Amino acid sequence: MATWHKQRDERQRRLEAAGRLATGKIVHAGDTKSLFEAVIRPGDRVCLEGDNQKQADFFAEVLAGVDKSIVHDLHIVQSGIVLQAHLDLFERGIARKLDFSYSGPQGAAIARALSAGKIELGAIHTYIELYARYFMDLTPNVALLAAVCADRDGNLYTGPNTEDTPTIVEATAFKSGIVIAQVNKIVDKVPRVDIPGDRVDFVVEADRPFYVEPLFTRDPANVTEGQILMAMMAIKGIYAEYGVKRLNHGIGFPTAAIELLLPTYGERLGLKGKIATTWALNPHPTLIPAIESGWVEQIHCFGSEVGMDDYMAARSDVYFTGHDGSLRSNRMMCQNAGLYACDMFIGSTLQIDLAGNSSTVTPGRIAGFGGAPNMGADSHGRRHPTDPWLKAGREASDGPAALTRGRKLVVQVLETFGEKMVPNFVEKLDSLELAEKLNLELAPVMIYGDDVTHIVTEEGIANLLLCRGPAEREQAIRGVAGFTDVGRGRDRAAVEALRQRGIIRRPEDLGIEILDANRQLLAAHSIEDLVTWSGGLYRPPSKFRNW
């Protein structure tokens, strides 16, 4: 007789094995290790919640310390490998296989562990690509979550940092998996139900609040005049040119400069209400002056940002908030908004090659992707028109207008040289060498050249949509690559011809007054200024305070 509920039976056995440790759904923090040893089986796919922001760090440390004769050879399927404990899982042999998205601070450690054969790598994904596989071939057997608080029925309040949780729970709970949450506090009644309790099997009150990385805070004091010049060019030559209203910004200083120029330079150009009104964006503190000046209609967030919670709660016309008042973020939904409802992505990168391929891999580091490849990609499933999307599509095509499809604007903004005079324009991406060395089937590329529409450097804007053929494209890229070897290798006549056709535009071609590229143009000059703009509602973490 065929049985059709082996997974449910297995789940039941595990719940029974853990039953003695729980009072209802509540398990004491000191019993967490025993709980894991009772419900996690060798070879399980486990999601230990953590992304570029929040971390189930208490669970991570406990899992790294389980008895490996009981729990071993796990297949880790999670967004972020960010904590030392995540690496310890592999060092100790508790986990063997890895499918992930983002590693940020552990980029070098992951590369070393791969070299040493400690990690069997599945693939490096974008966030939603990994989530998608949760519903196909990487469904977790066990999910270990982080939440702000829980009630005794297991209802979870994930608060402003909801992020990945609903997606992980959806995949695990509805496929007979086990869901366990670490919470900062067990309460009688949660402020709002982010995850219904019947999807949660166990709750542990951790010995400390879960960790959140303030990843999206850029101190205006560190914005350079070169970045201000690039920001002015982007606003005038791209935002205004295409009338971009719906967009996403990356994490770097050049886009922080753009945010800080909207209420000053943008205002002067008469662009308020015409550009940058509607966002898929983390809660960037540097956007506060634009919000307070009435530039921004609406923002949906992937996650939260340390110190921004009270400000966002007080600006519910702008942010998505629950009936309890606090922000509701959701990475899956926000990534989807970025894919299908943003007309532009603009972000920084570390390397661009002659075809416009863009990578953040540097020698010996695998930083992963996070969401950038999705934000920075044209979605071929999009079917609704907007002016910027259609204009970009027309620029890219020579054919008859009747069936011209639109294009998402994908803009890379970077200085031609990075730290220590390392050139950011290269003939060959470091990613290729890394892939060879680590035997990766696919070299990690953040944004493929055929998706990049514009490159902005201090030297000017290259519009790749208007280029015809790889040779023109190469000269357009060389033509904004400054004094790097790639830039100095340009064909000067070809670059001048591209400039005549408006494919390359210099600050002077855009009518930019170079004396305006001055820090006085920033709407805020310090974190303290941002606090003032927010009326005291923004409470920056101490590492950003110097007053």
Among 209, 226, 325, 489, binds another protein (CB under 8 A): 226
Token couple for 45:
């796919």
The DSSP code for 421 is G
Whole-angstrom CA distances from 297 to 315, 522, 523 are 11, 21, 19
Q: How far is the CB of 264 from another protein (least distance, A)?
A: 18
Q: How far is the CB of 417 from another protein (least distance, A)?
A: 5
For 495-543, the DSSP string reads HHHHHHTTSEE-TTTTT--GGG-SGGGSS-SSHHHHHHHTTT-----GG
- Tell me how far apart the 2 most distant CA atoms of the chain are, in Å: 82
Considering the complex, state which of residue 401 and residue 421 has its C-beta at the smaller distance from another protein: 421
Considering the complex, state which of residue 134 and residue 425 has its C-beta at the smaller distance from another protein: 425
| 417 lines the binding site for another protein (CB under 8 A) | yes
Q: Which stretch binds another protein (CB under 8 A): 101-109, 293-301, 394-402, 481-489?
A: 481-489
178 and 142 in contact (C-beta within 8 Å)?
Answer: yes
Binding mask 249-288 for another protein (x = CB under 8 A): ----------------------------------------
Q: How far is the CB of 418 from another protein (least distance, A)?
A: 9
What CA–CA distance (Å, rounded) separates 375 from 279? 12
Is residue 19 helix, strand or coil? helix
Token couple for 20:
């003695």
HSE-up (13 A, CA, CB side) for residue 410: 29
Q: Alpha helices of 424-520 — where are they, by DSSP H? A: 430-437, 470-478, 485-488, 492-500
Q: Which stretch binds another protein (CB under 8 A): 180-188, 271-279, 368-376, 508-516?
A: 508-516
Q: How far is the CB of 129 from another protein (least distance, A)?
A: 35
Considering the complex, state which of residue 57 and residue 415 has its C-beta at the smaller distance from another protein: 415
Binding mask 427-466 for another protein (x = CB under 8 A): ------------------------------xxx-------
Q: Which stretch binds another protein (CB under 8 A): 169-177, 328-336, 375-383, 480-488?
A: 480-488
Question: 510 Cβ partners below 8 Å, 6+ apart?
Answer: 233, 236, 237, 461
Q: How far is the CB of 156 from another protein (least distance, A)?
A: 46
Among 335, 416, 453, 534, binds another protein (CB under 8 A): 416
Considering the complex, state which of residue 33 and residue 519 has its C-beta at the smaller distance from another protein: 519
Considering the complex, state which of residue 292 and residue 459 has its C-beta at the smaller distance from another protein: 459
Number of residues forming the site for another protein (CB under 8 A): 18
Whole-angstrom CA distances from 453 to 257, 434, 448, 458 are 21, 26, 10, 17
Residues 510-539 that bind another protein (CB under 8 A): 513-515, 517
What CA–CA distance (Å, rounded) separates 377 from 231? 21
What does R_g of the chain's alpha carbons equal in angstroms?
Answer: 24
Q: How far is the CB of 464 from another protein (least distance, A)?
A: 21
Binding mask 227-246 for another protein (x = CB under 8 A): --x-----------------
Q: Which stretch binds another protein (CB under 8 A): 219-227, 333-341, 527-535, 538-546?
A: 219-227
| 488 lines the binding site for another protein (CB under 8 A) | yes
Is residue 109 helix, strand or coil? helix
327 and 309 in contact (C-beta within 8 Å)?
Answer: yes
Residues that bind another protein (CB under 8 A): 224-226, 229, 415-417, 421, 457-459, 482-483, 488, 513-515, 517
